[in-house]
Homo-oligomer: A and B are copies of this chain.
Amino acid sequence: MNVICPIPIRDYPNVTLAHGGGGFLMRSLIEKMIAPAFDSGEEFLQHDSAVLPQPKGRIAFTTDSFVVRPLFFPGGDIGSIAINGTVNDLAMSGARPLYLSCGFILEEGLPMETLWRIVQSMKAAAEAAGVKIVTGDTKVVDKGKGDGIFINTSGIGVIEHDLVIHPKSVQPGDAILVNGDIGRHGIAIMAVREGLSFETTIESDCAPLVATVQELLSAKIEIHCMRDCTRGGLASSLAEISATANRHIEIEEFVLPVREDVRGACEMLGFDPMYVANEGRFIAFVPQAHVAAALEILRRGAGGASTSIIGHVTEKTQPRATLKTRLGSTRVIDLLSGEQLPRIC
């Protein structure tokens, strides 16, 4: 990691409108700070589009804007989320992520050092996920018309297998696996925002899922569907998939992996951990015959030993997700109207 911000802080301690104006200042910001961090060579600067070799298969294409507050939190920051969020969306389609774009919307007055820390974090996250940031854009808006920094990343991945990983591929009998404990990202953000402290610091689960998904694919696990459990949490992913798949999904509450400190924080705040956002957790639908092999791979990944089988797809005809509670009753898992926590990603 570069230890000194390459833009002279004495000259430009803060981002100015001119840094987004298409002139010399913007060019020097990109040339000195952004392009070297993203290590895409001179090419990054020199033309309107990145020109890339023909991909060897179908492609996946996705986009996400990141507006999380605060910008830095235990376990991550807006930069690492911006990389992992988009990389994970590609991975969820069974694609191997190749290239990212990066669009900054900076607010006039953003400390240059803050931008630099975020760029460094993006660089590290991109390296960890094995993707290249190949094209970018920088805009600056007047003070009071933004909120420090917003980041859009879009991504291209290549699909190197013949599986159709999609809610419509879900089948009765499929087991539903989650790759670790849920609810940490949302609670980590909330704790910083509200100045809450717990006995231990709750860190975001923000992580790239690329390697784990690639392992599942290499092991020829017959994945029917995957989805990362970000905004709206595990519950929303389940509700959406059951609706699109037109299948009934049944989840067991007592097996849901939730850490004790997260459960405690949720009780205190009145949140249901199933609806709290994650940034490194996903569900995978796999046929029973592949469950053992899939579990073994997931347990080597980001969520480790808390990887669990949380439910299955039934033969029932109602296209909804239901939860068998600890008390033995059943309730429907619905989409919330909005979200418990705004701006968690």
Contact = CB atoms under 8 A, between A and B. Distances in A.
Interface of A: 16-27, 45-67, 88-90, 92-93, 95, 99, 101-105, 134-137, 139-142, 144-147, 150, 152, 154-157, 159, 166-168, 227-228, 230-232, 236, 240, 244, 277, 334-339, 342-343
- CB-CB nearest 7 A-B residue pairs: A18-B338, A21-B339, A22-B231, A22-B232, A63-B101, A154-B154, A152-B152
A147 B62 CA distance: 24
A46 to B, nearest CB: 5
B103 A65 contact: yes
A104 B66 CA distance: 10
Given A16-B338, A342-B21, A137 B92 contact: no
Contacts of A45: 244
Contacts of A61: 49-50, 52, 99, 101, 134-135, 156
Contacts of A338: 16-19, 21, 23-26
B67 A105 contact: yes
B21 A336 contact: yes
A65 B236 contact: no
Contact of A92 (B48, B64, B136): B48
Contacts of A105: 65, 67, 105, 150
A177 to B, nearest CB: 17
Contacts of A49: 60-62, 89-90, 92-93, 95, 155, 157
B64 A103 contact: yes
